[in-house]
Amino acid sequence: MRYIISFLLTIPTTAIAEVPAVVTDVPPVHSITAAVMGDLGAPILLLDRGASPHGFQLKPSQMQAVSDADLVIWMGPTLAPWLDKALETRPQGNASLDLLAAPETYRRDFAEDAAHDHDQDHAEDAAHDHDQDHAEGEAHDHDGAEDHDHDHDGHSHTGTDPHAWLDPANGRAWAQLIAAELSRLDPENAATYAANADVAIAAIDAADTQAATLLAPVKSRPFVTFHDAYGYFTAHYGLAHTGSIAAGDAASPGARHLAELQASLGDGTTICLFPEAQHDPALLTQLAEATGARVGGSLDPEGSTLEPGPALYPALITGLAETMAACAP
């Protein structure tokens, strides 16, 4: 027996592959990643519950998690400049996936007309193959340095809008991208990642259908949000978003802008004003009192107030739709 044990110890062994250690930046990305990983592993979410990506700073333990991660999945430096710097210190060879820069991602600019209606394409084309349509257009050419040439203090609201998760078609595309990248790092579990991605996409499809149904009766009802973060959502569902109080997360609206907004609200056509999680609703309340517009429920575009996990992303899409639909008379 002792001879057999000694012999077995001399046989070369193949290392058992481990599930990659994964770190994500914001709740929607974490949610889709968690759904694709399923029971195989749990990705780390850097943005604490209730926190905003604007002005966020990594804790030492989070810096270490980023350094140790086999894969970092994020929305890119436009939304998370605090993670961009941490990635520069990682060991060479550790993988990262910038979802906003992926060719499969539909991107839009802040300056795009809200009437740029591509929701019909999304609804009719299950594959939602729009990367060719948008990758070649000048307004969507994000391969150059202009992608990341933004004000990182709360990200300037010019150029590419990073809130791309608010188009469910991107969520579907990302589930497949994440599954493919995890499979590359962990081929032994590739079939599981692919199956989990299919389940995640089905959940996104269901949320998308539910949101479209909720919003259909109010598509023509004009509304104003606290800040300009909903372009993907309003374009996808064909909503009548008429303006924002603040241009950016950290931008304070000027007196002239507020006066112009109040004047535009004075004709009574705007139905609802929507406050936003983590932002003081005082200005919005004043505008509502001055114009007679209704104040709707608080919107949370990052899902920062929701319970993190696989169910967060579908809940974010349906939750926004429910809040917007509830305000319309």
pLDDT at res. 278 = 77
Residue with tokens 């609804």: 123
Does pLDDT of 171 surpass 50? yes
Q: What's the rounded Cα separation, in Å, for the pair 210 and 188? A: 36
CATH architecture of 18-329: 3-Layer(aba) Sandwich (3.40)
Q: Which pairs count as long-range contacts for 109-112, CB under 8 Å and 24+ apart, including other chains?
A: 109/139, 109/140, 109/158, 109/159, 109/160, 109/161, 110/157, 110/158, 110/159, 110/160, 110/161, 110/228, 110/231, 111/158, 112/139, 112/231, 112/235
Type of residue at 43: P
- Quick one: what percent of the chain has pLDDT higher than 90? 53
Domain boundaries, the chain: 18-329
Average pLDDT over residues 131-153: 37
Using CB atoms within 10 Å of the CB of residue 259, give its burial: 0 to 12 exposed, 13 to 18 middle, 19+ buried.
exposed
Indicate the SS3 state at residue 97. Answer: strand
Does pLDDT of 195 surpass 80? yes
pLDDT digit string, tens, across residues 263-301: 777 676 778 889 998 778 787 888 878 777 889 999 999
Q: What's the rounded Cα separation, in Å, for the pair 20 and 17? A: 9
Average pLDDT over residues 106-117: 66
Question: At 102, is the pLDDT very low, low, confident or very high (cuts 50, 70, 90)?
Answer: very high
Task: Give this prediction's pTM.
Answer: 0.80
Bridge partner residues of 96 (DSSP): 72
Of the given ranges (27-41, 80-94, 100-114, 128-142), which has the lowest mean pLDDT? 128-142
Return the number of other C-beta atoms located less than 10 Å from residue 15's C-beta: 5
Does pLDDT of 166 surpass 80? yes
pLDDT at res. 256 = 74
Q: What's the rounded Cα separation, in Å, for the pair 80 and 318? A: 25
